[in-house]
Amino acid sequence: LKDSSKLLPEVRKYLEDENDYFNHQMSDTKEIQKVLFNEIKGRIKLDDESLPFKDVRYSYWTKTTTKGNYSIKLRKKIDSEEIEEIWNGDLEKEKLKTEYFGLGDLEVSYNDKLLAYSLDLKGSEYYTIHIRDIKSREQVGEKIQNTSGGIIFSLDDKYIFYSKLDDNHRPREIYRHEIGSSTSKDILIFKEESEAFTVGIGLSSDEKYFFITSSDHNTSEQYYFKADEIIPKPKIIDKRKRGIIYSVNSWNGNFYKHTNED
């Protein structure tokens, strides 16, 4: 729920009564709750680092520590040992002075200059996308609201692609946003008409195409457009068939299809 103030009074009272009932019934288990929480937490390696991922100029990796609750993203140039911290979730939460802090996605542009991230500060799972200059830490352009959280940069770093949530909290539209411009100029490049299906976008393994996937729990359909298309016009690969799921990728000039169809 985006705005709890819009709840009907009877619905709000019902939810509050249920919460009070739960708290009353569980009141004598608070100590065991703490024991269980600490036991589960003790099985998690809190001081940890991911393996570095190398691109052209930098290696990137993330780490967590016992002192914080959120991840830290680090990088260093391939020919250097100097480590740069480009994201610290705990510091971001502290700066925003928010009780709830949910990170949806965290992506670096191909030229290593921009950091795009999506945040949910209410627990509603409606994410707001921010774009930041890594060196200056200044925000670039406007925030993009009511998204599903996923972020994809275009290869030339002029745009990002994202999905917007409808009133039923389902991602059914894919937009392209020009970095630094007004969100009012964002271009709708795909819309799923069926309320039963949700959509997502990703880049092919050879970075030649973008694929848009529309799916429900047992049926899928994919569209594609070239990564360098000036105005993306997604083309369908195979029309959806009830009960058939497929996924297409691109490599070395060919499309490869993985499907449950005989």
Span 41-96, pLDDT tens digits: 888 888 899 999 998 899 999 999 988 999 999 999 999 999 999 999 999 999 99
- Which pLDDT value is given to residue 3? 67
- Which pLDDT value is given to residue 197? 97
Strands (E), the chain: 48-49, 53-54, 58-64, 72-77, 84-88, 102-108, 114-120, 127-133, 144-147, 152-153, 159-165, 171-178, 187-191, 198-203, 209-215, 220-226, 235-236, 246-251, 254-259
Residues 70/63, Cβ–Cβ less than 8 Å: no
- Which pLDDT value is given to residue 41? 81
- Which pLDDT value is given to residue 42? 83
CA gap 151, 179 in Å, rounded: 12
CA gap 256, 262 in Å, rounded: 16
Q: What percent of the chain has pLDDT over 90?
A: 89
CA gap 189, 262 in Å, rounded: 32
Q: What are phi and psi of 256, to 5 degrees?
A: -120, 130
pLDDT digits (tens, 9 = 90+) for 132-184: 999 999 999 999 999 999 999 999 999 999 999 998 999 999 999 999 999 99
**Domain 98-262 - what CATH class?**
mainly beta
